[in-house]
Structure 1
């Protein structure tokens, strides 16, 4: 049996088990432990596990695991990691940190974390839909109403289709509210279900609306709350992409597994 000290953080309802692993005590090869921590009945319950570690070339390194043990970039998880690092006293309000896709910068203003995402220059139209990778691959489809769909059944149909079944894809259902506002529901691979919010999904959704309407900022209404994304379009490339939203500590404790 292993006893783990943890903190629970959430960013617009996307929740994470956060572990200060600067001393290297967490066994990163134990993916069953990751799944157990994420279990909402027998564990802490979360959409993912995040380890904070020391980094030579940045303020810290964020290591993110989906509940199934797979790894990817997580936008909301990154925002929560920034707030956690500040709470640990590792940073002030400005930071650079390492994630699975490389170096990111972020700053905190009035309780909101502004996360600088990597530039995006590769995206694909699939009929009326979009495929955009914002650190994790996202399939984006526009619907008349996000309330009238079942994102789990509809998401699984796309996620397990012939093209995406091997590597997986996140599936986002978007309802256009205005030229610069969307409602969004997301089916996440790795979670294999709907989450209350998805940062990389909201980022991809905002870029898709930018392709449709030419806007450079988008408000996104997820189940768990509101996020904002701003960006610049330089030819075929999106740059200066910021994912903006709250990140909050919920509670902390110990668990023995």
Structure 2
């Protein structure tokens, strides 16, 4: 059975998008998602995205990390799907409803309201989420006192002098899988460089280091705003490029940035199932 796909990316965070709005796909397991995402023997991507009908929104967006795990939210993929569908659209995700619309700078996404309660992150037990009283050793120092934020998926945000000096490939998986995060966590290391500017790197839960993470940019911006480090609109610069994040007076986050179609193709489902 031949299945069409669209390869897309948002600032280098890349996706294989399967459009199942008109024709349902065969049963999609985590193993199939991981096989398609494999960069050596599959199509290759950070996340596999499936667009389906929804009874709560215009369409439903399902998100699978490259390890095959289905997750709640992906900001860059939201922009990609918004571009692919076109116009203003609402999307149902496991993390809640979001809305996308065309913008002069690409696609703007209403990412909804952030959550800060310890059990909404979730954390293993009650604690302050603005400065978690925990740390992990890194070299001669430590990554400590992160801000915990849920923006549809869980994030821990560490503010450091230089995100590129942090051995994120080593410490990222340790923090991601720490028992204090019962559903694992995305790990963000960020530096505030001005009242309207942040530099960010992200270790994504289930995907590793990516060139960009939209929910990570949202979580980091809101964390910096909660600490009074930046204003309510900031440019977050990731390895793949910049995103604009705004947190309005109605407690809603808007993320604005580009999305790109790389190429289209098809594959035989039986080769991966």
TM-score, normalising length from structure 2? 0.84
Q: Whole-Å Cα distance in 2 between the matches of residues 101 and 199 of structure 1?
A: 14
User: Contact conserved, 1:179 with 1:209, CA < 8 A, in 2?
Assistant: no
Q: CA shift at 1:22, angstroms?
A: 1.8
> What's 1:150 paired with?
167
Gaps of 5+ in 1: 87-92
User: Contact conserved, 2:82 with 2:88, CA < 8 A, in 1?
Assistant: no
How many equivalent pairs are there? 244
> What's 2:214 paired with?
199
User: Contact conserved, 1:7 with 1:253, CA < 8 A, in 2?
Assistant: yes
> What's 1:97 paired with?
91
Residue 248 in structure 1 maps to residue 260 in structure 2: yes
Residue 210 in structure 1 maps to residue 225 in structure 2: yes
Deviation string for 1:87-113 (max 9, x for gaps)?
Answer: xxxxxx212221112322221122511
- The range that moved more, 25-34 or 4-13, is 25-34
Gaps of 5+ in 2: 118-128, 134-144
> What's 1:43 paired with?
42
Q: CA shift at 1:122, angstroms?
A: 1.8
Q: Whole-Å Cα distance in 1 between the matches of residues 171 and 51 of structure 2?
A: 34
User: Contact conserved, 1:52 with 1:85, CA < 8 A, in 2?
Assistant: no
Q: Whole-Å Cα distance in 2 between the matches of residues 111 and 20 of structure 1?
A: 25
Q: Quick one: structure 1 residues 159 and 4, their matched pair in 2 at CA, closer, same or farther if it must change by over 3 Å?
A: same
Q: Whole-Å Cα distance in 1 between the matches of residues 103 and 214 of structure 2?
A: 18
Q: Whole-Å Cα distance in 1 between the matches of residues 100 and 24 of structure 2?
A: 27
Q: CA RMSD in A?
A: 1.7
Among 183, 191, 198, the residue aligned to 1:175: 191
Q: Whole-Å Cα distance in 1 between the matches of residues 149 and 6 of structure 2?
A: 32
Q: Whole-Å Cα distance in 2 between the matches of residues 175 and 181 of structure 1?
A: 9
Among 159, 166, 169, the residue aligned to 2:176: 159
- SS of match in other structure, 1:117: strand
Q: Whole-Å Cα distance in 2 between the matches of residues 27 and 74 of structure 1?
A: 23
Q: Whole-Å Cα distance in 1 between the matches of residues 106 and 189 of structure 2?
A: 25
- SS of match in other structure, 1:163: coil
> What's 2:149 paired with?
132
- The range that moved more, 153-162 or 11-20, is 153-162
User: Contact conserved, 1:111 with 1:247, CA < 8 A, in 2?
Assistant: no
